[in-house]
Amino acid sequence: MDSYPIPAKETRVEMMVGNSRFIATAAPAFTVEEAKAFVARVKAEFADATHNVPAYLVGHGATVTAHCGDDGEPSGTAGRPALAVLQGSGLGDVAAVVTRYFGGTKLGTGGLVRAYGDAMREVLAVLPRATKVPTHVVQVVTPYGGFERLRRLVAAHGGEILDEGFQAEVTVRARFAVDRFLAFEKALQEAFNGTLSAEIVVRDEIAIVPV
């Protein structure tokens, strides 16, 4: 599986356009069901809003499922421009809702297109990114004398130490992107003259790694 950028967490921004209040909320969603549940939750939160316009991308690249809706706005003036901004962001597995509270001033077709697109741009501008990558969680048992050397080796190969256990020896659990694990394994063998090995204990296809 190729890695690609996704939202690291749910994020929200607000803006005013022509007396209307726009609230854009974006979050990670790894299935269509998750995306639909997110949209439903935001709509329930802002049940008194004039419109709650959804857009989402589940997957990435050639295997993406895209969806949008206008939620009562004139056809093509809300969901489509919001989705176009999402598609141009390079993100995958992202769901968003742009909420509008009508403020009494009509924006016109062009104004609506700009407003919904701009609201999506605003939330994406502050949305923290992560990367969805396949990973291995590995376990290495080392004598105390090799502990610091092992820690440095993990860091040098982009690993993240998840847990350390101190008993007769030190047990270290670390996570690596799959494409970096082989290099770590080779370096581990060289650094410890073949006396240590990394046992894969978890294979995770959808680990989220902040960037």
Question: Higher pLDDT residue, 60 or 210?
Answer: 60
Confidence of residue 132 (pLDDT cuts 50, 70, 90): confident
pLDDT number for residue 208: 62
Question: Higher pLDDT residue, 98 or 206?
Answer: 98
33-62 burial, b at 16+ Cβ within 10 Å, e below that, comes to ebbbebbeebbeebeebebbbbbbbbebee
pLDDT number for residue 210: 59
- Condensed to tens digits (0 to 9), the pLDDT of residues 187-201 reads 999 999 999 999 999
Q: What is the mean pLDDT of residues 139-166?
A: 94
Q: Are strands 129-142 and 199-210 parallel, antiparallel or unpaired?
A: antiparallel
Determine contact, residues 211/147, Cβ cutoff 8 Å: no
Q: Which of 1-15, 21-35, 166-180 has the highest mean pLDDT?
A: 21-35
- Domains of the chain, CATH where assigned: 4-127 (3.30.230.30), 131-210 (3.30.70.240)
Confidence of residue 121 (pLDDT cuts 50, 70, 90): very high
Beta bridge mates, 27: 95
- Condensed to tens digits (0 to 9), the pLDDT of residues 47-105 reads 999 999 999 999 988 889 999 999 999 999 999 999 999 999 999 999 999 999 999 99
Separation between Cα atoms, residue 187 and residue 159, nearest integer Å: 13
113-146 burial, b at 16+ Cβ within 10 Å, e below that, comes to bebbbbbbbbbbeebeebebbbbbbbbbbbeeeb
